[in-house]
Amino acid sequence: MRKVAIAGVGMTRFSGPQSKTEVELFAEAALDALNEANLKPKDVKALFVGNCLGDFAEGQGMVQSFAAEDIGCFNVPASRYEGACASASMAIRDAYVWVASGFYDIVLAGGTERAATMGTPLATRTFAMFSDARYEFPSGITFPAVFAMLTHLYSARYGIPLEKLTEQMARVSMQSYKYGSINPKAHFYGKYADIGVEKIRNSFMVSSPLTLHDCCPFSDGASAIVLTTEEIARKLTSKPVYVIGVGQSSAGSLSSQNKYLPKIRAREVSAKQAYDMAGIKPEDVDVCELHDCFSIASLLAVESMGFFDYGKSGEAWEKGEADFGGRIVINPSGGLKAKGHPIGATGGAQVYDIVKQLRGDVGDGRPVVEGARIGMTDTLGGDGGTVVNMLLQRGW
């Protein structure tokens, strides 16, 4: 297979309700990515768009075709990807496969969503469709409840008192807010920089023991990535970032995963695929943008990806091992928790941020992971139903 590089990235601001449509948001991110790659819309050979709730948010299906026309990629093959929160990551992974195979030379991939515009009640109800609709939702289980149950199970499985665990989780949220508050593209830009453990733990209870500040927001936004061959990328940019490993795995209902919980088996499988393809180990990764839809999700993710031992990741946050100067830097963008979570666009934003870190040009006075050569993304759809991991490496 051919070596694949990222030549350009684009991302809108993630925020509360925006007036632009999903197509318009994607066009904004896509044109930024194309401009950064020194390409025109006519150069794109295929378009892959992640979108989860557009049918419900706007009554608009087939957003990929309208997006292709809107940005000037006339008559190209355009496909929509739906894997809940992993939708954009699925689109980017498949774009990698198509370019690596030699079928396409340049593919534009990413995602778009207006989850905030839907409002919390509608977004919560429709998003619950991505768990088991026959048994889980009628039982009153939405995603906050899923991760609340995983928190209790994690506490019991590893013998960590719930009081101690929720304090560790609060430190996860504090770190996310610290970096989201200085990220101009983040939903919580300028907010919660100085929030403390007790304020997080004493905020509104969403699903015990998860409080409001343990949970990420629904956001509006879009992201876009230009993937191309190594040869073309070197003509377009002096700083190509290579995709060196990809993984994707699936799982059934939460109850079908009971043998492994609170571990997310699909993530273990997906991450191993990516590591094996790249020929590296977890300790080779310098920075990771992972799926922290809830604070407990960060602990689960870093363990399944091999960064910290099972049951020990909370201690890593206490000791600063998941921050600058530690073992690995986790979510310097603010993550889903503070950067925001426009469901169909999240995976593309993770790639955007890893590329910016590897290039050392995050801008706006934000910290850079000095000397970073390898970055990783991790996106989880549903309650482990779809997981995608990607490994990126500096190409200069």
Q: Residue 187 catalytic?
A: no
Distance of CA 383 to the CA centre of its chain: 14
Smallest CA-to-CA distance from 307 within 286, 324, 292, 293 is with 286
Secondary structure of residue 206 in the 3-state scheme: strand
Q: Of the residues 85, 215, 288, 293, which is catalytic?
A: 85
- How many whole angstroms separate alpha carbon 2 and alpha carbon 281? 22
- How many whole angstroms separate alpha carbon 222 and alpha carbon 14? 8
Give the single-character DSSP code of 218: B
Helices (H), the chain: 22-36, 54-58, 63-71, 87-101, 115-118, 120-127, 143-158, 162-180, 197-201, 230-236, 265-278, 295-304, 313-319, 335-339, 346-359
Question: Residue 360 phi/psi, 5° resolution?
Answer: 70, 25
By the 10 Å C-beta count (0-12 exposed, 13-18 middle, 19+ buried), 259 is classed as exposed
What tokens were used for 379?
A: 């996106």
Q: Of the residues 187, 213, 291, 341, which is catalytic?
A: 341
Strands 106-114 and 46-50: parallel
- How many whole angstroms separate alpha carbon 304 and alpha carbon 282? 10
Kindly write down the DSSP assignment for every residue of 336-363, as one continuous string: HHHH-B-GGGHHHHHHHHHHHHHHT---
Smallest CA-to-CA distance from 386 within 14, 42, 36, 88 is with 88
Element at 248 (helix H, strand E): strand 241-250
What tokens were used for 213?
A: 């500040």
* Positions marked active-site: 85, 341
